[in-house]
């Protein structure tokens, strides 16, 4: 996403590590419910019998740094030189994991895994569950994180997949306890190095609106959403859809409420919910509600991404989407698209171009969206 997440590396790291609540596994919460979805082929995400995009997951693990600052965790830490070197050599993978972003925060942690040569060189599809399988195949050797005080040590062991826990301290808001955990005893080579980690507890920022607390400070510089009043207003928006048709703030005037669904062509959960959004558009149109999509990867640092635009057109055709798929403009929707940490993300705009109501992370089924839209529409009417 142009001017948003810092390049493909961060986007993949965040979205894939948030698979349980975002890009890939969000729809699991809808299992057993009567929801319509499409597979990659039906959505036009497969061409000539092959997935459109592959990548090397080892290249998108969190990078080795001299120091890490996680302001929403309230932690600053330095890893040993040996661990940082192993990360650079792709012998150790550093990932992140937190409890569902749309629920009360129970835990958030950095996880460390050993990588074999096969795992290091693996090439997988962006679509489907290939990444989940790759991540599960890694041997977890340690974690550093914060856990709600109510969690027992047994629960923490199940979450971290580690048996040895060293308490570091408590968060400045008094709600969480920090632990450095290892899978093996202190005589293990990794455990010995990991226990050298220098940890400092700092003032913990309140959880951001999108729910994601594992954004490292240097990743958030110039990318945080809602950095000013301009990002709450789209009254001067001018952009175009994937077919080149202009879309401006005047289009918001056509409805009392516009639902803006932000997604990417490579996000499986995003595409799977589009048929439900199609039905939602049909149902809610007469009530003064319209749906628009924003396809983040149609623009990148080089400008228009023609491959993503063509994929978007196929997805729109295969899912029979009856609403526009927009491209990010130069301002990234007045900065509103900056700092999005998990896809899909949905927000609402009134007919004056004001961003209103709540932000919703993750995909939802038709019934859930009906309830959400009715709630947000009710707020608009009550404020008139």
Do residues 297 and 202 share a domain?
no
Least confident of 21-30, 100-109, 188-197, 364-373: 21-30
Lowest mean pLDDT among 25-39, 55-69, 147-161: 25-39
Model confidence at 31: pLDDT above 50: no
Question: Which residues have a Cβ under 8 Å from the Cβ of 45 and sit 6 or more positions away?
Answer: 51, 52, 127, 265, 266, 271, 311, 314, 315
Looking at residue 218, its pLDDT comes to 61
Domain final residue, candidates 215, 245, 264? 215
pLDDT number for residue 232: 79
State residue 227's pLDDT score: 43
How far apart, in Å, do the first and last CA atoms of the chain sit?
35
pLDDT tens column, 131-146: 889 999 999 999 999 9
Q: Structure tokens of 302? A: 């080089």
Distances (CA, A) of 205 to 67, 77, 214, 255: 18, 16, 12, 37
- 182 and 295 both lie in a single domain: no
Answer for the pair 334, 230: CB distance below 8 angstroms, yes or no.
yes
pLDDT tens across 329-361, in order? 988 898 888 867 678 999 999 999 999 999 998
Please tell me whether residues 237 and 180 are part of one structural domain.
Answer: no
Q: What does R_g of the chain's alpha carbons equal in angstroms? A: 21
B/e letters for 224-243, b = 16+ CB within 10 Å, e = fewer, are ebbeeeebbbbeebebebbe
pLDDT tens digits, 175-217: 999 999 999 988 899 999 999 999 999 999 999 877 889 988 7
- Provide the pLDDT confidence category of residue 384 given band limits of 50, 70 and 90: low
Number of domains the chain contains? 2
Same domain as 256, residue 230: yes
Cα gap 352→380, rounded to integer Å? 11
CB atoms within 10 A of CB 61: 25
In which band, very low, low, confident or very high, does the pLDDT at 39 lie, cut at 50, 70 and 90? low
User: In the numeric block, which tokens belong to residue 236?
Assistant: 């001067």
| Mean pLDDT confidence for 366-374 | 95
**251 in the same domain as 203:** no
pLDDT exceeds 60 at position 24? no
**How is residue 6 written in tokens?**
């810092």
Residue 67 confidence (pLDDT): 93
Is 323 a domain residue?
yes
Residues 236 and 317 in one domain: yes
- SS3 (DSSP) at 67: coil
In a domain, 81, yes or no: yes
Q: What is the mean pLDDT of the chain?
A: 84
Same domain, 95 and 189: yes
120 part of a folded domain: yes
Q: Going by DSSP bridges, is the β-strand pair 257-263/289-295 parallel, antiparallel, or unpaired? A: parallel
Angle subtended at Cα 91 by Cα 53 and Cα 189, rounded to the nearest 5 degrees: 155
In a domain? residue 360: yes
**Cβ atoms 296, 346 nearer than 8 A:** no
So what's the pLDDT on residue 230? 45
Tens-place pLDDT, residues 253-308: 999 999 999 999 988 889 999 999 999 999 999 999 999 999 999 988 778 999 99
DSSP 302-360: TEE-HHHHHHHHHHHHHTT--S-EE---TTTTTTTTTT--SSSEEEEEETTSBEEEEEE
Give the C-alpha separation, 194 to 110, whole Å. Answer: 12
Q: What is the pLDDT of residue 315?
A: 95
Specify whether 167 is located in the same domain as 301: no
CATH number of the domain enclosing 285: 3.40.30.10
Query: Is residue 231 in some structural domain?
Result: yes
Tell me, yes or no, whether 136 and 190 share the same domain: yes
pLDDT of residue 19: 40
Helical segments of the chain, H only? 7-17, 81-88, 117-121, 130-137, 153-160, 189-194, 217-220, 268-272, 274-284, 306-318, 366-382
**Residue 239 belongs to what domain range?**
226-382
Considering the chain, what percentage of its residues have pLDDT values greater than 90? 62
The predicted structure's pLDDT at residue 231 = 63
Label the pairing between strands 54-55 and 124-125. antiparallel
User: Among the listed ranges 2-6, 172-176, 219-223, which one has the minimum average pLDDT value?
Assistant: 2-6
Query: What pLDDT shows up at residue 85?
Result: 96
């Amino acid at each position: 996403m142009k001017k948003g997440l810092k390049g493909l590396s961060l986007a993949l790291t965040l979205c894939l590590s948030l698979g349980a609540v975002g890009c890939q596994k969000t729809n699991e919460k809808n299992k057993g419910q009567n929801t319509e979805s499409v597979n990659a082929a039906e959505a036009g995400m497969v061409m000539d019998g092959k997935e459109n995009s592959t990548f090397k997951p080892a290249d998108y693990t969190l990078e080795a740094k001299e120091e890490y600052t996680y302001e929403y965790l309230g932690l600053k830490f330095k890893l040993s030189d040996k661990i940082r070197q192993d990360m650079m050599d792709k012998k150790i993978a550093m990932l992140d994991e937190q409890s569902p972003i749309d629920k009360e925060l129970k835990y958030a942690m950095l996880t460390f895994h050993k990588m074999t040569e096969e795992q290091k060189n693996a090439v997988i599809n962006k679509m489907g569950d290939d990444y989940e399988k790759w991540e599960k195949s890694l041997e977890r050797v340690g974690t550093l994180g914060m856990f709600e005080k109510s969690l027992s040590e047994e629960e923490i062991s199940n979450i971290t997949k580690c048996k040895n826990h060293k308490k570091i301290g408590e968060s400045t808001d008094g709600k969480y306890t920090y632990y450095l955990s290892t899978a093996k005893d202190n005589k293990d080579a990794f455990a010995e190095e990991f226990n050298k980690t220098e940890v400092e507890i700092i003032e913990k920022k309140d959880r951001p609106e999108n729910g994601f607390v594992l954004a490292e400070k240097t990743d958030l510089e110039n990318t945080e959403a809602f950095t000013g009043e301009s990002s709450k207003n789209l009254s001067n928006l001018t952009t175009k859809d994937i077919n080149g048709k202009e879309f401006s703030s005047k289009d918001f005037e056509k409805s009392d409420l516009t639902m803006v669904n932000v997604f990417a062509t490579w996000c499986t959960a995003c595409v799977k919910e589009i048929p439900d959004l199609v039905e939602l558009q049909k149902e809610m149109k007469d009530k003064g509600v319209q749906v628009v999509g924003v396809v983040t990867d149609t623009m990148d640092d080089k400008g228009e991404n023609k491959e993503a635009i063509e994929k978007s057109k196929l997805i729109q055709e295969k899912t029979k989407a009856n609403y526009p798929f927009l491209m990010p403009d130069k301002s990234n929707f007045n900065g509103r698209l900056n700092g999005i940490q998990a896809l899909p993300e949905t927000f609402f705009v009134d007919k004056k171009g004001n961003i209103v109501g709540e932000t919703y992370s993750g995909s939802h089924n038709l019934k859930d969206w009906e309830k959400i839209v009715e709630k947000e529409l009710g707020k608009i009417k009550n404020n008139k």
